[in-house]
Copies of this chain bind each other. A is one copy, B any other.
Amino acid sequence: MVVELISVGTELLLGNIVNTNTQFLAEKCALLGLTMYHQVTVGDNHDRLAEVIRTALKRSDVIILTGGLGPTEDDLTKEVCAEVMGFPLVEDKHTRERIEEYFRNNIYKVISDNNWKQAIVPAGCIVLDNDNGTAPGLILEKYGKSAILLPGPPNELYPLFMNQVYPYLQKLQPEVIRSQMVKVCGIGESQVEDKLLDLIDKQQNPTIATYAKTGEVHIRVTAKAATEEEAKKLVKPVVKEIKNRFGDCVYSTKEEETLEQAVVKLLKKYELTVTTAESCTGGLLAGRIINVPGASEVYNEGFITYSNKAKRKYLDVSKSTLKKYGAVSEQTAREMATGGVFATDSDACVAVTGLAGPDGGSEEKPVGLVYIATYMKDKVNVQKYQFKGNRAKIREQAVVKGLDLLRRSILDNYR
């Protein structure tokens, strides 16, 4: 079954915003086993929008339109789509009541005549309740084709799609699609692909796809079958084989679990607390850990020691080490991690010192050189990295490697 995405909005044509909705929908459609050949963006213009819808209905089975369902005169998606497909517009009582209720509960918002426009729907269409806004989702079915109209704001689109459109599309598909994620860290995308080459080469069902993220690779295994159970049975041995091949590089097999969540989970499991001592990453590593709800169980305090003086004052890095080896050195990273544990009541410390640039590099110590150390159970583990990219990119990679080194140190010392 072929699906086509149509994004409606002048703000996209002007480059005011990045079209993240399309990526979200495309990924979910791929997950459903749907085929996609075209994605189109068009402005809030009657004739051009009508032409785009007509073309899409000719070449695709399902079209998903996002945006242009708002209450203003500029918003035309529903009207134009109904016109092209030959649906009269009628008021939907249920939606009118929901809009009334929405405004009763949002006393700061003023209801205008325009808002009632959102209760008008194509006659006979499926209305999808929107719990986060006043524009309902709509599904128009005719001649074996479906047009799915969804609001543009991501906080309305995402739950509406996942809760109501995803199951609808699933039912249209003759086969059941199931997939599982394996998330790996500490190994590059091309190495991951090399290690999976034989599996990828002979893949048919399930298929294996890799996605490169900063410092991580996500591997998705997807199977089609007549029943959910059968699909799961196809996925399971391949996931097991991948986990075997990548061993400790695998940090999660859960779709939504982030690297920092995996790290915090491990810290909780072994009842450990951790502190951070950051130079070039300057708080970003702590920031990632604290992004996990409930991080207070494992994280109490941390240091940003950007200057040499601060490294000495808070982490007791010795003057002679800084003089002899410099702030960006294995020795300094080692003393920072050790000092972090002794300065706090924490069980572990992860320390980062490096050159994020753009200035300050030399032949011996080029920009991108970063040392990361963990201290745990009286042992220090220091790793040297040479990152590429600009200042932000170098710091981002250092944060991921810092989280991963912490994760591996916990496994090495406590498992």
| Interface residue A382 (Cβ < 8 Å from any Cβ of B) | no
Choice from B15, B289, B293, B305 contacting A27 with Cβ under 8 Å: B15
Residues of B within 8 A of A29 (CB): 15
A294 CA to B52 CA in the complex, in Å? Answer: 50
State whether A301 touches B304 (Cβ < 8 A): yes
CB distance from A129 to the nearest CB of B (A): 22
| Interface residue A45 (Cβ < 8 Å from any Cβ of B) | yes
A24 CA to B15 CA in the complex, in Å? Answer: 7
Stretch at the interface among A94-102, A240-248, A277-285, A369-377: A277-285
Contacts of A262-310 to chain B: CB distance below 8 A? 276, 278, 280-287, 289-291, 293-296, 299-307, 309-310
A199 CA to B284 CA in the complex, in Å? Answer: 41
Number of interface residues of A (CB under 8 A): 67
CB distance from A272 to the nearest CB of B (A): 15
Residues of B within 8 A of A14 (CB): 26-27, 30, 36, 209
State whether A18 touches B16 (Cβ < 8 A): no
CB distance from A340 to the nearest CB of B (A): 11
| Interface residue A13 (Cβ < 8 Å from any Cβ of B) | yes
**Given known A29-B15, A284-B283, contact A40–B37 (CB-CB < 8 A):** no
| Interface residue A43 (Cβ < 8 Å from any Cβ of B) | yes
A30 CA to B357 CA in the complex, in Å? Answer: 33
Choice from B209, B287, B392 contacting A283 with Cβ under 8 Å: B287
State whether B278 touches A283 (Cβ < 8 A): yes
Residues of B within 8 A of A286 (CB): 282-283, 304
Choice from B25, B293, B301 contacting A359 with Cβ under 8 Å: B293
State whether B40 touches A38 (Cβ < 8 A): yes
CB distance from A283 to the nearest CB of B (A): 3
State whether A17 touches B13 (Cβ < 8 A): no
State whether B291 touches A301 (Cβ < 8 A): no
State whether B40 touches A13 (Cβ < 8 A): no
CB distance from A413 to the nearest CB of B (A): 23
CB distance from A152 to the nearest CB of B (A): 14
State whether B313 touches A305 (Cβ < 8 A): no
A267 CA to B301 CA in the complex, in Å? Answer: 26
A296 CA to B305 CA in the complex, in Å? Answer: 11
Residues of B within 8 A of A26 (CB): 12-15
**Given known A18-B23, A278-B283, contact A357–B300 (CB-CB < 8 A):** no
CB distance from A28 to the nearest CB of B (A): 7
Residues of B within 8 A of A287 (CB): 281-284, 287, 395
CB distance from A381 to the nearest CB of B (A): 22
State whether A307 touches B301 (Cβ < 8 A): yes
| Interface residue A227 (Cβ < 8 Å from any Cβ of B) | no
State whether A303 touches B301 (Cβ < 8 A): yes
State whether B293 touches A392 (Cβ < 8 A): no
| Interface residue A41 (Cβ < 8 Å from any Cβ of B) | yes
CB distance from A174 to the nearest CB of B (A): 21
Choice from B15, B36, B289 contacting A13 with Cβ under 8 Å: B36
State whether A15 touches B30 (Cβ < 8 A): yes
CB distance from A296 to the nearest CB of B (A): 6
| Interface residue A20 (Cβ < 8 Å from any Cβ of B) | yes
| Interface residue A383 (Cβ < 8 Å from any Cβ of B) | no
| Interface residue A391 (Cβ < 8 Å from any Cβ of B) | yes
CB distance from A108 to the nearest CB of B (A): 12
| Interface residue A143 (Cβ < 8 Å from any Cβ of B) | no
A359 CA to B310 CA in the complex, in Å? Answer: 34
A313 CA to B300 CA in the complex, in Å? Answer: 11
Q: With A293-B359, A301-B304 given, can you name 11 additional A-B contacts, CB distance below 8 Å? A: A12-B23, A13-B26, A19-B19, A38-B42, A38-B52, A280-B290, A281-B287, A282-B289, A283-B283, A287-B287, A301-B305
List the 4 closest A-B pairs by CB distance, nearest first: A283-B283, A15-B27, A15-B26, A282-B290
Residue contacts A-B, CB under 8 angstroms, 5 given: A19-B23, A295-B306, A299-B306, A301-B310, A301-B313
